Amino acid sequence: MAAMRKRFSSSSVEEDSASLHDSAPICASDLTSEEEHPYASLLCCHSVQDSLLSSNSSFTGYRGILNWIIILLVLTHAHLFLENFIQYGFLIDVQKVWGHLIEDNCNWSSVVLILAANMFALVALLLESSQEKAMLSATNTHRLHLTNLGLLVLFPAAVLMCEPTMSTGGAFLSLLFYTVLGMKLYSYQETNRWYRLAHLGKDQNGPEPQKDHNEHLTFRDLYYFLLAPTLCYQRGFPRTPKVRINKLLHRLLEMVVVVQIMVGIVQQWIEPMFRRSEISFSSMAITTRVEHLVGLVAPTHFLWLLFFFLSHSYLNFCAELLRFGDRHFYGDWWNARTLIAFWKNWNIPFQKWCHRHIYIWLVERNVSPSHAELLVFLMSAALCECMIALPLHSCRLWIFLLMVFELLVAVFLGDYFQGNYGNGLVWLLLLLGPPLAVTTYFHDHYIRLHLIHHHRPSPSPLTSDRRVH
């Protein structure tokens, strides 16, 4: 007992200065150092610790809760599938998907448009090779690069507007391909310019002989970059040792399954909701519009999450096939507590490209960092609007305005919603944000095609008789 009193008195000062979570429980096993008590392990059964779901806890094993939420969401929305199945029957038809991808009379104008993009890539390689061989000055090469990129932007837009036989799916794929190609080629010429400036500085500061850099300006290097899942060019990408066939097949299976689920959601859930409305979204009354949007929130959000997972599988499939090492395609955006954190983690390749080639360029020209971030965001919002509006031949600015509205919410309400409340606000705006606006675009496009189909004049009996004969 005297030893116990002495130990308590010597540690009283430390216990007073320590916090509750830093102090350790005093057990009988700690007090009996000379002899071991037979029930020492049973005398102390409590310690200072937080509940698992409290904010102070470092517990992160929420996988079971996530599975429970997924199953609950599927079961709570299964009745909508049953209602559509009872009313309309089984609507899932893969041939409809091919009908949106294949042009009339097998014209394949979208395929020709994509193949024609090789011309712009070869021009960029030719310009870089000419400058390396001192056949063109740096100023003229830069001007020709900008001209090539300008034509690359205008060419698909002109084809989409002037080619009526191009399917909706083909138009989307073509525009997406050209957008990615334009960003890649801009990074290609800009990064090569930085390499030349860096080696020029080395030659002026030291006696090192200049290496031959033409070895990087090859078809293989360029097309590896064009196929790689990145938007930023560099000479010598990190590579993995080998291609893992099991991972490759796993990603391929994921893409097939996710695409099938997405087709099922669109045809069995969203399309029947479009059928119930015979007017465009902009012509609806306010109450009808709100009711229609509320009904579209769940399937649109599921479709958006599946699209993210499809992107994850596709990018990792390409990276595994090409042995591309940098696979940081996204951050933990689902834990974002602000919209700004979500935008920075949602699409890492696009965010990296914007920071590398736009943000830094603006800051170097004495634009304040806050204004530079604003300009980058407005550019990305306008790009999202064009990616949807141009193939559908309908520009309502709904996506752009919703993204600007989200920016205003992030600026004015960010200080009031922090921590878990901030994460809840992010999820709420994701539910009611741009994905829902994209669905309204497709709703009006579906209504327009439906009206054109019903108002199409039917063949006369005389024409039918001639066809029979």
Per residue, what are the HEC states of 104-133? HHHCCHHHHHHHHCHHHHHHHHHHHHHHHC
Query: Cα(353)–Cα(148) distance, rounded to whole angstroms?
Result: 19
Nearest to 350 by CA among 324, 380, 327, 318: 380
pLDDT tens across 397-442, in order?
889 999 999 889 888 887 788 878 888 888 888 888 888 888 888 8
Residue numbers in the chain where pLDDT is lower than 70: 1-37, 40-41, 55, 76-77, 79-81, 84, 87-107, 201-214, 450-469
pTM score of the predicted model: 0.78
pLDDT at 421: 84
Query: Cα(337)–Cα(427) distance, rounded to whole angstroms?
Result: 9
pLDDT at 465: 41
pLDDT at 133: 83
What does the CA dihedral 258, 261, 262, 265 come to, rounded to 10 degrees? -160
